[in-house]
Structure 1
Amino acid sequence: MSWEGSGALVWDAERLRIATDAAGIALWSWNVDSDEIALDERAHQLWGVSRKGTVTFEELSQQIHPADLERVREAFQDTRGQTGAYEIDFRILQGKAVRWISARGQGGDVGIVGRVMFGVFLDVTQRKQAEEAREMAAGEMSHRVKNLFSIASALTAIAARSAGTTTEMAHDLTQRLTSLGRAHDLVRPAPGQVEERAAPLGDMLAVLLAPYSTDDASNARIQMSVPEVWVGGTAATTLALVVHELATNSVKYGALSRAGGILDVRCTEHHDDVAVVWTERGGPPVTAPEGKEGYGSKLIARSMSGQLGGSITFDWPASGMVATLRMSRARLAA
């Protein structure tokens, strides 16, 4: 084969090999009578099989991922009965590594020479990994959107039950959503990164409680003592919900409802658990609530157990409410 004006350019075996190497194509042939499969050097490397001796499908099948083996076996057996071009993608194992291969050829004995059929293998690992990453990102986005709607519904219900007017409800809801936004800012990915980052618990609490403190550092209403404990992206939203609910109740009924009130937040570590003790002093006298548990209390209790693998308990000394939050260190960092 030659092209006019291209001189002596000919598609001989050497030039064909240069082209297939450039495209990352591995070649195979299959003798339909003896079942022998011949592989070129690239195909031997791709499959990780010896260049010595005869190669059969059964030998190659030992490298195929168990989850794909039956599907590939059926496709191989049906090769000659298919019409036109075929393509099948599957995984092979190279030690602990997993690679994706695309096997392509012509069915129905198209292009058979003697009793030998021909085709190619392509390493499509990068494409498959990219597809899996996109699917995971889409699934994660769907999960986050559903959670966002659930959170918005829960916050709206809390604001509606506790507010006396629509103006109060709007103000309360805006504060809660803003609090979640500040928490998210601490753990969102840095520029150029994909994964969320962890934030120190002390920084998280400081950001969430900043609106309730004062500008005068000498007369700060909120005191904190927190060791180096980390909060991950998944836990940040839940923690923000819980802290904002406690702060809102304190502003309405507790220590933060009075100018001289003090909120003391201290964190301790116990092996695999983290405990945050929320102590209020200097507010109006408090007593344990009577009657059914409120919606907000139910929400934070479910959040503590479901998302943070812990619990929340309340004590009601006359000096002020004390809440103890216990959380799994691993769940808090997730």
Structure 2
Amino acid sequence: MSGAPVSSSAQRPDGDSAPGAERPLSEAYALESAGAAFHALADTMPQIVWSTLPDGSHDYYNRHWYEFTGVPAGSTDGEGWAELFHPEDQPNAWENWRRSLETGEPYEVEYRLRHHSGEYQWMIGRALPIRGDDGQIERWIGTCTNVNEHKRVALLNQILGQELSHRIKNIFAIISGLVSLTARNNPGFSDIAQELLGRISALGRAHELVRPHSDRSRREIGDVTLLKLIERIFSFYPAYDEGRVRIEGGDLEIASSAATPMALLLHELATNAIKYGSLSVPGGTLTIKLVDLGNTMQLLWTESGAPKSEEEEIVPGFGSRLVDLAVRNQLGGSYTRAWKRDGLQLDVTIDKARIQAA
């Protein structure tokens, strides 16, 4: 690219022009033929544009590179460009670049590039190989796109999200404190208060799972999935540690908007199982199975060893209405409930679009 323009006439191996028709030009050959026209085009692009030889040695930068970095023309040819990367980003940039040179895979990496003011700004560097007729790499063409403003806004949103999450956790704590204080001053409110505190606690655990995370906490938690939410809710019950709760089946990522109704649904079912169902006796067990049905997700709740066996013994109350509200209204699903010989069987079908993370 840095050399003189090459004639576009097709040549035979012996140097003579091929008679009758021209040989199709390779990408690299056509690029070299463009010469000054390519340089003019590269200078009009909003990104930094660069090219290298097959071994990765830089031999061309457009004017935006020199405007941004402020370095003298030609001073970053070869491998001199690396010194302009932030020291913390150089090892990763080198590793990715060497891998692309060895394999021919497209190059893409984020790094901080030093502006002529001395400030480091975030860039996304990308490059693709240009191959000749024989398939060999003859040149790499790359760009640097400034994403510093996007990074700044993303960081600001992350900080705001974490601050909002912290305030929500404080609100949960305040509400729990108010409920506990009211129960102490009104003994008749004690049973209701315990149920309410349980629901608030379930919401808090769901929020902790789906709240905005830092890069570090996101790596620790991983993907926020339905199975992980179920495990988070049940991990606070002794029956879970005793191995009497089995969770199995498929899985999918869960959106933050679905975490609240799912947490309330699971908490109400678990509370009833502990009070009246299979988890109220030492030998009772519970199996929760998730089945992916395409557009819907089926949750099968099966209790075994429960002391009650007749549906009419359980009078539907507020908890039942809460389950109905969560499944039908908030999750766009439906459910059937039946008491078998030794426990409750619940079949919940939920619209995957309501629970799946975008």
TM-score (norm 1): 0.48
TM-score (norm 2): 0.45
